[in-house]
Structure 1
Amino acid sequence: MTSHQVTKTQCPYCGVGCGLEAVPTPAGDWKIRGDREHPSSLGMVCVKGATIMESVSQDRLLYPMFRENLEQPFRRISWEQALQEITIRIQDLQDTPDAMAMYGSGQFLTEDYYVAQKLIKGYLRTNNFDANSRLCMSSAVSGYIQSFGSDGPPCCYEDLDQCDLAFLVGTNTAECHPILFNRLKKRHRFGSPLKIIVVDPRKTQTAEAADLYLGIQPGSDIDLFNGIAHLLLRWGEIDAPFIEDCTQGFAQYAALLSSYEPETVAQRCGISPEDLIQAAKLWQGSQKILSLWSMGLNQSSEGTAKISSLINLHLMTGQIGKPGMGPFSLTGQPNAMGGREAGGLSHLLPGYRSVKNPQHRAEVEQAWGLPSGSISPQPGLTATEMISALEAGSLQLFWIAATNPLVSLPDLERVKKALRKSPFTIYQEAYYPTETAEYAHLLLPACQWSEKTGVMTNSERRVTLCQQFQDPPGETRPDWDIFAEVGRRLGFVEPFQFQSSADVYAEFAALTENRPCDHSGLSHALLAEQGPQQWPYPKDQTQDKILDPARLYTDLRFPTVDGRARFIPYHSRGLAEPADPQYPLVLTTGRVYGHWHTQTRTGRVEKITKMHPQPFIEIHPHDAEKLALQNGDPVQVSSARGQAYFPAKITRAIAPGTVFVPMHWGSLWAESAECNALTHDISCPVSGQPELKACAVALSKAESFPPKLEIEKIVPEEVLDVSVSV
């Protein structure tokens, strides 16, 4: 059902959620341009969104493929055979449901997420569904819940236009969320009173634009936040009426701050006391403060503590609930927010519900037509716990969809060994080859963006309908449709009798009624007619009583038992794996402007690969001199878990004692250049998010780079063999 009209959609890359338009050309293909009517991006688009069509048809997985063991080549089978194999495998495990797990993705549409939750958590009776958002935003989720009583960024993109201080910490916004950063930079350049503070161990492109750059030591964020708060409290710069009327726990927080003298904090952070005082004075002198963060805070063994400590600063100064202010998590993936709303982490249920809450479970059981007690009260396995379960042999069926964990998960050598032990791994993906396909038994070809219709929610809680405008190639199917078909074949015919993704969304939206992330007034038809909308969007809205959802907590009441926000005092524990004599440097990881995650799409776009042709390691000249390294020299990087090789990039943009490697290169794109061969999986005890931003490493000059290994594609004879029986 290819469209021949201009089709509105959303970019499938980062969480900014830029609006795009697909425009048919006389040649019969499609041109992509920014949607000027989309309120989140106003027609702007970065290189990834602009080139998206170049990757859509490249290296597609077109048919189900199967092999009995990982040593055999894949052979093409029918969907009937593939579904029969899945059904039999699941039926064999239905008496031990926790022997099954699914690992999904922020690349899912909300409809994909929702049907997966209904199947796995509802009808298969296990909470073992997690997503790569666990590696991305789960600490933000936990921080918001701890401090406010509910998940959900309280701010909106208009706040970028109204703040007078932008406090950017742990985010290279210029490269990772460029459309948002350009909005800030435009104001900054033309002489507005806006000031920008950037906190990052690297002097990134974002930091280049800052009025004050704080190049803190990795892991010292909480010290910095508490140090600023100590000075504000000393100077009397607190919002006492707000604290009294709207919060709880300030006395304990104030007591903790007493030990954060400027000299002590500056030493811990590796900055000067003068810079710390300047940061506090900028906070003191600003009326509207917007803090923005991303992976630099979330990907930490104390990620939740970092976020709650930053929120504490907003609470003590009353910087929330009004235009231009608030703590704003910048989502990493296009629909990580939608996944949270649909219950797409192992401790969640749809509508911002918790599996631990008896009332929440009962509400979902009733909506799904399940007997009482069907949903387990125990949180399921997180992403890294799934790897441990494979090692232990307790996980017998592992279903991976729309993500590439054999590049993105920490401690990759361990992950590879665990996947080789998996009795049966299903991999549902749009592309082949990928690094993860090498470890799968059954490949299921999925539709991707442009080939199916559904919604995504961006970082400002704005829901966009992404409409199909291309026919699915080969035998690809939408993710939600695959999950629903499996449900029907398992005997749950009526609960999974969805005729369209609009039907799926309608059921999901009804389940969010009167919940913080209320979609109940939304539908595919309304979004198609009226354009993107922010939640909450309750169904009882009328023309004379329309809720303004741009900002949360405008009445300064919070979804806690007593309606008050919580001060959560934390001391920093520091890095889970600090440098030591054997591994004297700290490795941090991140993105580059053009690439996306593990290059499944962007690695197939010529313009982007020319822009970023190879990985690298940033090293300060002081550290490079010790090893007699020059730019481009091969560097062997070792940790307690593995090793990798990168060309040296010697720069003063990285602090001495710290090195940086981009996270995009897996074995498909470069040999032995996987940053996650080095990282550890020590995780935040609250959010379960691993500390991907810091591990201890040692460097040495290598003789040469390892030769790149080619991953063979499926040969035509195997693709055409339809006679194989499973």
Structure 2
Amino acid sequence: MTDSTKTLCPYCGVGCGLEVSPPAELGKPTNRDAKGNPIWKVRGDRSHPSSQGMVCVKGATIAEAIDKSRLLYPMMRNSLDEEFRRVTWEEALNAIVNRIQTVRLTSGPDAICMYGSGQFQTEDYYVAQKLIKGCLGTNNFDANSRLCMSSAVAGYIQSFGSDGPPCCYDDLELTDCAFLIGTNTAECHPIIYNRLRKHHKKNKNVKMIVVDPRRTTTAEDADLHLAIRPGTDIDLLNGIAFLLMRWGMFDSAFIDECTANFPAFAEVIRHYPPELVARKCGIRMDDLELAARYWGESKRVLSMWSMGVNQSSEGTAKVRNIINLHLMTGQIGKPGSGPFSLTGQPNAMGGREAGGLANLLPGYRLVKNPEHRAEVEQFWGLKAGQISPEIGLTVWEMIQGLETGNVGFLWIAATNPAVSMPDLERTKAALKKSPFTVYQDAYYPTETAAYAHVLLPAAQWGEKTGIMTNSERRVTLCSAFREPVGQARPDWAIFAEVGRRLGFADKFTFTTSAEVYAEFVGLTKGRPCDMAGLSHELLKQEGAQHWPFPAGIRRKDSARLYTDFHFHTPDGRARFGAYHSRGLAEPPDPEYPLVLTVGRLYGHWHTQTRTGRIEKICQMHPQPFLEIHPRDAQKLAIQEDDWVAVRSRRGWAKFQAKVTSAISPGTVFVPMHWGALWAENAEANALTHPEACPDSKQPELKACAVRVVRVGAEVMETVEQAVFSSIS
């Protein structure tokens, strides 16, 4: 291959276009790394409309990990005490199929579970749904998007009648007020932040408000930084609404004609006067008033949020409260405005389109809706009633099912729950109880591989062709530029082969991912995420496209949703949500007086399965740390670089202290990337709890109560055994 290949970055939901060139040009020697692996050249794709040729350090270095620590062939073992042995695909597939059949006969289909990933391509997601929810008749498919975007999904559905961010990246350069809450966009979504930052700097009238307990890189650029206490987001949002109401800064015509339930919302917000809200949030009252004035006086308000909002026991309520402010002021469906959820993973949007959560079906359909189930059954050629009417197990419920013995078969693919799940020691103990776990990934070792009975090698980025959808609903064809290594296979092909061996050969006749995608888009016809006009060939020829993209009809306004102010509800009206703040599920107390919040760093991605193998990134972020405010550090006699032990009600971890006024007093911060393979006892999720939003079932990974103890490095080992020996 001598020409460059256009593809998409496989990290965050920004969805940056990349061009990949082969390791050597004709007549020139091949560039290789220290181990002799060819080095592919990666640069930003200037023709991709989302990223416009820009690329962050993760995208720029992605090819450096493609040949490192790869899982090359299937492996198996009978128990977790044994070593893995190399096996053929035939042996591995037979073992999987036999186990599934046994569990179906002895325990029923609801003892079968699959846990997937926002790093799947859409084809992977779709074939998994057809296998698990269709052919096997259980909705026990969940994805790590449950930990990432499920509160945004629930919020959009409840407010607008359908999932789907209504904004586009062009709005970043059209807004006159950017309201960023629960997102460190500069580090976690750097390329779209670059677009916003340039627009902000160029136009003095453009205001940026950042809501975050930390003074992040994003907050440093803000006109107004609101360092609220963790868990007071709803107080803040209701307080802004109170002031907009008091000052008459609301769009009564839009409210009357396009919304419902405003009286209930108005009744709630009257309980949030600025004096009370400022005190609860720990901010100045004049800053609260300035935020409300910025919003109320702006003609185009664009709000953005990510994990800091979604990962909460009241995540859906927070999302809906953000949307409430847009509905109150008519700030939706217009250029430069709207509520914009920034997706965490490269194809979490595609997973939502394909039905990749336990409560969803393909085409933005819901498991609980009998018409939706019937439509999918008919399309897939299934018997009436074959799709279960019951919502499947979320990933945390799968963990609980392992504890009780109700889960007899667990298939994990393209994700690393032995690092990313909350209450990690409990999670690991449950994984140890699993009678049969299949783990499908591109890399080995990973932390989760230690809990598997069967390992399946998956083709990864650059080795398979498929579709991904980014945060702005832009669909991109990601073309392969090399063959899979070893015996690795695309995820969708593995799922399809298991389906055929289970007796559903007529449902899995696909030979290419293009055929899979062609079937999938047919199931979106007439739905809010209609992509019936898209195909691999069209995307290859015309480049990335926004949906909706119906067949035969090209909508001119598909970059934005709700431009006609008509929503996907029975009466066409958007719904206000009326919520009082409940606060943190686990607030601080005298025994655990600090609130721990966790987050991401610019260079690393999730649990370091890729980035931990890239030298440049490891040099940028050599080790985990704990941020603590000087006031708290002084109370605890902690100085810069001291070793500290952090304890919650569930577990403990150790870090070196970083004393900084960038974190609010009473709050400490730890990055979430380090699992057991990369540092000793530095797992942030050993501390977090599984309490979740009742609507989205998304755990509150962002906040838990902890205490911090300074410990000299020379006695750290003793402390590990003594200070925290009471933890069960």
- C-alpha contact (below 8 Å) 2:557/2:563 kept by paired residues: no
Query: Partners in 2 of 1:212 and 1:701 — Cα distance?
Result: 34
Partner of 1:10: 8
Query: Partners in 2 of 1:672 and 1:188 — Cα distance?
Result: 41
Query: Partners in 1 of 2:49 and 2:529 — Cα distance?
Result: 19
- C-alpha contact (below 8 Å) 2:548/2:555 kept by paired residues: no
Partner of 2:143: 131
Partner of 1:338: 350
The aligned runs of 1:122-521 (5 Å cut-off) are: 122-521=134-533
Partner of 1:51: 61
Query: Partners in 1 of 2:387 and 2:604 — Cα distance?
Result: 39
Query: Partners in 1 of 2:115 and 2:556 — Cα distance?
Result: 36
Which amino acid in the other structure matches residue 7 of structure 2?
A: T
- C-alpha contact (below 8 Å) 1:303/1:687 kept by paired residues: yes
Per-residue Cα deviation, 1:97-155 (whole angstroms, up to 9, x for no partner): 01110000000000000000000000011100000000000000000001000000000
Range with bigger deviation, 621-630 or 398-407: 621-630
* 1:37 pairs with 2:47: yes
Query: Which one of 651, 669, 673 corresponds to residue 642 of structure 1?
Result: 651
Q: Post-superposition shift, 1:517?
A: 0.6
Q: Post-superposition shift, 1:192?
A: 3.9
Query: Partners in 2 of 1:258 and 1:478 — Cα distance?
Result: 54
Query: Partners in 1 of 2:455 and 2:510 — Cα distance?
Result: 24
* 1:695 pairs with 2:704: yes
- C-alpha contact (below 8 Å) 1:644/1:674 kept by paired residues: yes
Q: Which SS does the other structure have where 1:555 is aligned?
A: coil
Query: Partners in 2 of 1:326 and 1:4 — Cα distance?
Result: 43
Query: Partners in 2 of 1:702 and 1:107 — Cα distance?
Result: 39
Query: Partners in 1 of 2:507 and 2:104 — Cα distance?
Result: 18
Per-residue Cα deviation, 1:580-636 (whole angstroms, up to 9, x for no partner): 011000000000000000000000000000000000000001111112111111100
Partner of 1:85: 95
Query: Partners in 2 of 1:580 and 1:469 — Cα distance?
Result: 54
Query: Partners in 2 of 1:482 and 1:670 — Cα distance?
Result: 33
The percentage of aligned residue pairs carrying the same residue is 68
Query: Partners in 2 of 1:605 and 1:82 — Cα distance?
Result: 31
* 1:593 pairs with 2:591: no
Query: Which one of 108, 113, 122 corresponds to residue 120 of structure 2?
Result: 108
The aligned runs of 1:538-577 (5 Å cut-off) are: 538-541=550-553, 546-577=555-586
The aligned runs of 1:706-725 (5 Å cut-off) are: none
Partner of 1:67: 77
The aligned runs of 1:624-635 (5 Å cut-off) are: 624-635=633-644
Query: Partners in 1 of 2:204 and 2:52 — Cα distance?
Result: 21
Which amino acid in the other structure matches residue 342 of structure 2?
A: L
Per-residue Cα deviation, 1:463-490 (whole angstroms, up to 9, x for no partner): 0000000111100000000000000001
Q: Post-superposition shift, 1:187?
A: 1.6
Q: Which SS does the other structure have where 1:309 is aligned?
A: helix
Q: Post-superposition shift, 1:30?
A: 1.9
Query: Partners in 2 of 1:192 and 1:546 — Cα distance?
Result: 34
Q: Which SS does the other structure have where 2:241 is aligned?
A: helix
Which amino acid in the other structure matches residue 650 of structure 1?
A: V
Q: Which SS does the other structure have where 1:588 is aligned?
A: strand
TM-score by length of 1: 0.96
Q: Post-superposition shift, 1:189?
A: 1.9
Which amino acid in the other structure matches residue 608 of structure 1?
A: I
Per-residue Cα deviation, 1:410-459 (whole angstroms, up to 9, x for no partner): 00000010011000000000000100000101000000010000000000
Partner of 2:536: 524
Q: Which SS does the other structure have where 1:698 is aligned?
A: strand
- C-alpha contact (below 8 Å) 2:250/2:296 kept by paired residues: no
Q: Post-superposition shift, 1:194?
A: 1.1
Q: Post-superposition shift, 1:256?
A: 1.1
Query: Partners in 1 of 2:258 and 2:87 — Cα distance?
Result: 61
Query: Partners in 2 of 1:490 and 1:343 — Cα distance?
Result: 22
Per-residue Cα deviation, 1:524-548 (whole angstroms, up to 9, x for no partner): 000000000010000022xxx5432
Query: Partners in 2 of 1:19 and 1:191 — Cα distance?
Result: 27
* 1:620 pairs with 2:632: no
Query: Partners in 2 of 1:702 and 1:369 — Cα distance?
Result: 63
Query: Partners in 1 of 2:712 and 2:144 — Cα distance?
Result: 36
Q: Post-superposition shift, 1:6?
A: 1.1
- C-alpha contact (below 8 Å) 1:34/1:44 kept by paired residues: yes
Partner of 1:721: none
Partner of 2:687: 678
Per-residue Cα deviation, 1:218-274 (whole angstroms, up to 9, x for no partner): 010000000000000011111011101000011111111111110000011000111
Query: Partners in 1 of 2:67 and 2:595 — Cα distance?
Result: 40
Query: Partners in 1 of 2:511 and 2:451 — Cα distance?
Result: 33
Query: Partners in 2 of 1:688 and 1:563 — Cα distance?
Result: 27
Query: Partners in 2 of 1:355 and 1:254 — Cα distance?
Result: 33
Query: Partners in 1 of 2:62 and 2:325 — Cα distance?
Result: 39
- C-alpha contact (below 8 Å) 1:404/1:436 kept by paired residues: yes
Query: Partners in 2 of 1:341 and 1:641 — Cα distance?
Result: 36
Query: Partners in 1 of 2:91 and 2:100 — Cα distance?
Result: 14
- C-alpha contact (below 8 Å) 1:537/1:547 kept by paired residues: no
Per-residue Cα deviation, 1:324-365 (whole angstroms, up to 9, x for no partner): 000000000000000000000000000000110011000100
- C-alpha contact (below 8 Å) 2:457/2:489 kept by paired residues: yes
Q: Post-superposition shift, 1:191?
A: 3.5
Q: Post-superposition shift, 1:23?
A: 1.4
Q: Post-superposition shift, 1:166?
A: 0.2
Could you say what the CA RMSD is over the residues aligned between the two structures, in angstroms? 0.9
Q: Which SS does the other structure have where 1:52 is aligned?
A: helix
- C-alpha contact (below 8 Å) 2:74/2:456 kept by paired residues: yes
Q: Post-superposition shift, 1:5?
A: 1.5
Query: Partners in 1 of 2:334 and 2:227 — Cα distance?
Result: 30
Q: Which SS does the other structure have where 2:708 is aligned?
A: strand
Query: Partners in 2 of 1:252 and 1:344 — Cα distance?
Result: 33
In structure 2, stretches of 5+ residues that fail to align are 31-38, 718-728
Query: Partners in 1 of 2:393 and 2:173 — Cα distance?
Result: 41
- C-alpha contact (below 8 Å) 2:11/2:605 kept by paired residues: yes
Q: Which SS does the other structure have where 2:419 is aligned?
A: helix
Which amino acid in the other structure matches residue 82 of structure 2?
A: Q
Query: Partners in 2 of 1:701 and 1:264 — Cα distance?
Result: 35
Partner of 2:17: 19
Pairs aligned (count) = 702
Per-residue Cα deviation, 1:24-51 (whole angstroms, up to 9, x for no partner): 2324442100000000000000000000
Per-residue Cα deviation, 1:684-722 (whole angstroms, up to 9, x for no partner): 000000000000000001232868xxxxxxxxxxxxxxx
Q: Post-superposition shift, 1:157?
A: 0.2
Which amino acid in the other structure matches residue 587 of structure 1?
A: L
Query: Partners in 1 of 2:404 and 2:351 — Cα distance?
Result: 28
